[in-house]
Structure 1
Amino acid sequence: MKKIVTLILLLLSIATAFARPPKNQYVRISTSYGSVIIRLYNQTPLHRDNFIKLAKKGFYNGVLFHRVIQNFMIQGGDPDSKDPNKAKPGAELGNGDVGYTIPAEFRDSLFHKRGVLAAARDDNPKKASSGCQFYIVEGKRLNDAKMDSLENGRLKGYKIPAWQREYYKTVGGTAQLDHGYTVYGEVVSGIDMVDHIAAVPKDKADRPLTDVPMTVEVLSKRQCKQLDKLLSPPTL
């Protein structure tokens, strides 16, 4: 009897482990230049859930990376960019939306390091995000003098923490956007795709001369659990 109870408890613990949801949600953005896997941040639930909702509906499939600036970022998500009548060669894109915005979710621990996913927005006093447009940071390395200048200017006195400064100096990013645009995910695999797209020939509006459409896939729970395990720091 004791062995049976032990077996039942073991089976229940295994079932519970499999039923437990993954710690993080991951998405894959694919293009002709490769693909990236992005972990969406749990610290920004409004942006995370909105992105997942749109991706599951297939909203992003076929939209373009319509604005690319090398050493800065690549931007996409404009629904107009998959409309043949609105996205003819040479047409300026970036004004399409889904009819709503998302409240800003600024977090001191989340910053514009190389590879982050962040929300685009128009110029509004609450810094609310576009409901659909986003960018992925390519960025560049910054020195202390540049960051000092940003703190006294564009960042309006916000002090970049020492550990973030070190990241900007060694890996890179776009510190000038911190606390102005919501960061809500980061590339965990495939950053080369961002570099390739950022370097393509473009027109005066920074639109690639050859369209760069994307597809976005929400990864399954099983895939997310595998990535959580793979990306978790080793236990000491």
Structure 2
Amino acid sequence: MKIHFLGLALLLSLLISCSSQKDSLIKIHTRHGDIFAILYDETPKHKENFIKLAEAGRFDSTEFHRIIDNFMIQGGDVFTKEGLPESEWYTIPAELGRGYVHEKGALAAARQSDHVNPEKRSSGCQFYIVEGRVYSEEELTTDIKGLQKQFMKYISLESQRALAEQYVQLYEEEKYDEMTELMLSKKEAIEDFLHVNLSKEMTEESIEAFTTVGGNPHLDEGGYTVFGKVIKGMDVVDKISEEKTAAMDRPVDPVYITVEVAKVPKKKITKEYGFEYPEE
């Protein structure tokens, strides 16, 4: 009896070991091509929920219904597709502080705004994929909102009339990136003159991500759960983001999706997709 028990324990141990050596590979199919992603073990509630919906086929025939070029593409509105009453639109507790940022390719959960959702709970179905852009270290370590506020005070000075005119001209020409560059170029002068500190802290890991891969760093300040990452198919995301849109950022031509889940050895995912798992 003892021998049988030890044999069963060994078998269970082997099964657990084999299971931990595999991961769920997500494939999102669109008319532009396929997007492949992995979901993080560090956000177990979101991972379990996404896989459950995908395996049940509930994502199929939903669409990327909100598209903003150079920002993100949002989809997976299962509840609306199925015509569920809002009372059945469940949410998931936020899983923040796991060390993941809104770099390009990040897979994150959509949610309602803070005034109706102070706990920052995630939608039970809607997700988005980050596109974004590459930032300079100066942009990342500057309180841009604070800089803009102080910059407006600064250019109201009679001595800064030429600077104010330059800023207005850029605004009229819709050269928004150059407006930001202009404000940043005056950061030190504004800090000295108005006796303010316009710097902010950011981790080295975040700076590395946003100055190389790119993304949307301000979303990290908003309290949205990042629970996965695109490991192949960002060219597809870029194509989708270029879709012509109408009201509410909805694409004129629907971008429908189907979602599949496959259990794949982690070593194969690393070899074929280049994703490196943390050491266990």
1:25 and 1:53, CA in 2 relative to 1: closer, same or farther beyond 3 A?
A: same
Structure 2: give runs of 5+ residues left out of the alignment.
1-9, 148-198
2-structure distance, mates of 1:38, 1:30: 11
- Equivalence map 1:42-53=2 (5 Å): 42-53=41-52
Structure 1: give runs of 5+ residues left out of the alignment.
1-11, 87-94
Check the 8 A contact 1:76/1:135 in 2, yes or no: yes
Normalising by structure 1, what TM-score? 0.78
Q: CA deviation at 1:112?
A: 0.4
Check the 8 A contact 2:23/2:263 in 1, yes or no: no
Query: Is the counterpart of residue 187 in structure 1 residue 230 in structure 2?
Result: yes
| Alignment match, 1:5 | none
1:151 and 1:105, CA in 2 relative to 1: closer, same or farther beyond 3 A?
A: farther
1:17 and 1:70, CA in 2 relative to 1: closer, same or farther beyond 3 A?
A: same
Query: Number of paired residues?
Result: 208
The alignment partner of 2:143 has SS state of helix
Query: Is the counterpart of residue 142 in structure 1 residue 135 in structure 2?
Result: yes
Letter of the 2:120 partner, please give it.
K
1-structure distance, mates of 2:14, 2:108: 34
TM-align CA RMSD = 3.0
Letter of the 1:149 partner, please give it.
D
Letter of the 2:90 partner, please give it.
Y
Check the 8 A contact 1:97/1:132 in 2, yes or no: no
Farther-moved stretch of structure 1 (139-148 vs 15-24): 15-24
| Alignment match, 1:169 | 211
Check the 8 A contact 2:245/2:251 in 1, yes or no: yes
The alignment partner of 1:140 has SS state of coil
Q: CA deviation at 1:80?
A: 5.8
The alignment partner of 1:214 has SS state of strand
- Once the two structures are superposed, residues 99-134 of structure 1 have per-residue CA deviations (whole angstroms, 9 ceiling, x without a partner) of 211111112520000001000000111111000000
Q: CA deviation at 1:227?
A: 1.3
The structure whose residues are more often helix, as a share, is 2
2-structure distance, mates of 1:169, 1:162: 11
- Once the two structures are superposed, residues 154-181 of structure 1 have per-residue CA deviations (whole angstroms, 9 ceiling, x without a partner) of xxx9732022112201210011111510
The alignment partner of 1:177 has SS state of helix
Q: CA deviation at 1:18?
A: 10
Letter of the 1:28 partner, please give it.
K
1:71 and 1:211, CA in 2 relative to 1: closer, same or farther beyond 3 A?
A: same
**Structure with larger Rg:** 2
1:225 and 1:82, CA in 2 relative to 1: closer, same or farther beyond 3 A?
A: farther
The alignment partner of 2:206 has SS state of helix
Quote the sequence identity (%). Answer: 41
Match of 2:261 among 213, 218, 236: 218
1-structure distance, mates of 2:252, 2:88: 26
